[in-house]
């Protein structure tokens, strides 16, 4: 049967091609031009971020955070196991040992209650992931980090426009990392941003961003020539990517409003089944806002989830599972010497994401939820 409701469909606001044309006609399409500045300023002003640097991905932003934190061989970095590869990979590239930690029982986010036992004198950094755009308990994470002298990076790839006790995510840890990959709320194909919240890292962040040179200072007229001053890479996107992103950012409120309406429609239609214990839906902690990045349910077992995926697929609906626990991945399993992480494994086996995109219609949500009810009846 052909798919009639895909899992994701990139939404275009209508201005993307106009802005790309403007960028092309301006004669400047390499990085850090007018559209890059506009995107960075918009994010800084809207969310009060200290400094935003656009990157070509969230993976790049995480790599910059790892380099800025000075992570190297012998250092340990705490990362949740139930996350995307990049959350760990960015630190593995620096030679760190990854200490994978478990999720909470009620949510894929890190279980901060059991984290302290995993901190050693070699621990340098804590990476929190705001799964589905739902905040981790950042007051507790930051207190723990301060007590043990750790730096904190927020993997806010899914967390644009979400808050913790009213504070924008990505702006609380020392570093915040966003993704604008086509599967996220705000997109530019492949793209991301690094948020630098601690002044100690500001100057070096710009240097790493522009291939280890102080070119940004040169263009501001702060130095009269620029050169190679540090390590770095080419982390900045071209103006073509920034132009696309600016069109999306200008529509952020409409995109968010639409996604929240869809999210609420799912919750209304599936709440009773969750209350009957057929599956688990995500409770939002009181400190977290909902940015409607994802709507998921957690099935009781891998078998049940596979059967539900097949049932939906038979009716043209594409629902998809998410991460496999990274501590069990082919790359890291041989290196992993920590405890069992049962909650991460349970989300790896049971979590199912339902279609969620701007152009999804309420009638289609009716259909999806009807098929889910049929499965559980
Ligand atoms: C999407 C995602 C990433 C990677 O983002 P890219 O922009 O594709 O590099 C990293 N972490 C999490 C939690 C993600 O959801």
Write out pLDDT tens, residues 320-332.
Answer: 999 999 999 999 9
Ligand 1: atom nearest CA of 61 is 9
Ligand 1: atom nearest CA of 179 is 7
Give the mean model confidence (pLDDT) for residues 83-92. Answer: 98
In the chain, pLDDT over 90 holds for what percent of residues? 97
Pocket probe mutation, ligand 1, options 128, 157, 186, max atoms within 8 Å of Cβ? 157
Residues 159, 248, 84, 44: is their CA dihedral positive or negative?
A: negative
Which residue's C-alpha comes closest to atom 2 of ligand 1?
157
pLDDT digits (tens, 9 = 90+) for 28-70: 999 999 999 999 999 999 999 999 999 999 999 999 999 999 9
Which residue's C-alpha comes closest to atom 5 of ligand 1?
58
* Ligand 1 binding site (Cβ under 6 Å of any ligand atom): 57-59, 83-84, 86-87, 129, 155, 157-158, 179, 181, 192
For residue 220, the model assigns a pLDDT of 87
Compute how many other C-beta atoms are within 10 angstroms of the C-beta atom of residue 300.
14
pLDDT band of 219, cuts 50, 70, 90? confident
Ligand 1: atom nearest CA of 190 is 7
Pocket probe mutation, ligand 1, options 8, 57, 58, max atoms within 8 Å of Cβ? 58
In the predicted model, is pLDDT for residue 1 greater than 60? no
Q: Which domains does the chain have, with CATH numbers?
A: 16-251 (3.40.640.10), 253-376 (3.90.1150.10)
pLDDT digits (tens, 9 = 90+) for 277-296: 999 998 899 999 999 999 99
Q: Which tokens go with 218? A: 């040169």
Helix 362-376 vs helix 302-314: crossing angle, to nearest 10: 130
CB-based contacts of 369, cutoff 8 Å, min separation 6: 266, 269, 270
188 C-alpha to ligand 1 centroid (Å): 13
In the chain, pLDDT over 70 holds for what percent of residues? 99
Among 353, 343, 349, 331, which Cα is nearest to 88's?
A: 331
In the predicted model, is pLDDT for residue 2 greater than 80? no
Ligand 1: atom nearest CA of 183 is 1
Integer angstrom CA distances of residue 220 from 200, 211, 263: 20, 17, 44
Residues in the chain, total: 377
Strands 123-129 and 151-155: parallel
193 C-alpha to ligand 1 centroid (Å): 11
For residue 290, the model assigns a pLDDT of 97
pLDDT digits (tens, 9 = 90+) for 334-375: 999 999 999 999 999 999 999 999 999 999 999 999 999 999
Chain centroid offset of residue 347 CA: 17
Ligand 1: atom nearest CA of 181 is 7
Pocket probe mutation, ligand 1, options 158, 178, 183, max atoms within 8 Å of Cβ? 158
What is the average pLDDT score of the chain? 97
184 C-alpha to ligand 1 centroid (Å): 9
Residues 84, 208, 149, 123: is their CA dihedral positive or negative?
A: positive
Pocket probe mutation, ligand 1, options 155, 183, 324, 347, max atoms within 8 Å of Cβ? 155
């Amino acid at each position: 049967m052909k798919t009639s409701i895909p899992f994701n469909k990139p939404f275009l606001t209508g201005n993307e091609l106009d802005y790309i044309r403007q960028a092309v006609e301006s004669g400047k399409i390499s990085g850090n031009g007018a559209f890059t500045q506009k995107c960075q300023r918009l994010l800084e002003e809207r969310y009060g971020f200290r400094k935003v640097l656009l990157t070509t991905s969230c993976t790049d932003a995480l790599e910059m955070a790892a380099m800025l934190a000075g992570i190297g061989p012998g250092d340990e970095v705490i990362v949740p196991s139930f996350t995307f590869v990049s959350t760990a990979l960015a630190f593995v590239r620096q030679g760190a040992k990854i200490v994978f930690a478990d999720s909470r029982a009620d949510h894929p986010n890190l279980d901060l209650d059991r984290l302290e036992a995993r901190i050693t004198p070699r621990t340098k950094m804590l990476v929190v992931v705001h799964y589905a755009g739902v905040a981790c308990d950042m007051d507790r994470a930051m207190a723990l980090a301060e007590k043990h002298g750790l730096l904190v990076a927020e993997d806010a790839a899914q967390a644009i426009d979400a808050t913790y006790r009213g504070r924008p995510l990505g702006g609380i840890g020392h570093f915040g990392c966003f993704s604008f990959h086509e599967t996220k709320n705000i997109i530019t194909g492949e793209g991301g941003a690094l948020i630098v919240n601690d002044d100690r890292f500001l100057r070096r962040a710009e240097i790493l961003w522009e291939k280890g040179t102080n070119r940004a200072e040169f263009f501001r007229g702060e130095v009269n020539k620029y050169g190679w001053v540090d390590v770095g890479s080419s982390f900045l996107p071209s103006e073509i990517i920034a132009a696309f992103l600016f069109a999306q950012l200008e529509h952020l409120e409409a995109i968010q409003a639409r996604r929240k309406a869809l999210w609420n429609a799912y919750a209304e239609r599936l709440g009773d089944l969750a209350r009957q214990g057929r599956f688990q839906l995500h409770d939002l902690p009181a400190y977290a806002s909902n940015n409607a990045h994802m709507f998921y349910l957690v099935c009781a077992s891998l078998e049940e989830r596979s059967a539900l995926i097949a049932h939906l697929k038979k009716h043209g609906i594409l629902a998809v599972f998410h991460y496999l626990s990274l501590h069990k991945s082919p790359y890291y399993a041989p290196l992993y010497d920590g405890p069992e992480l049962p909650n991460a494994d349970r989300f790896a086996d049971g979590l199912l994401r339902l279609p969620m995109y701007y152009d999804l219609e309420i009638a289609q949500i009716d259909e999806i939820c009807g098929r889910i009810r049929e499965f559980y009846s």
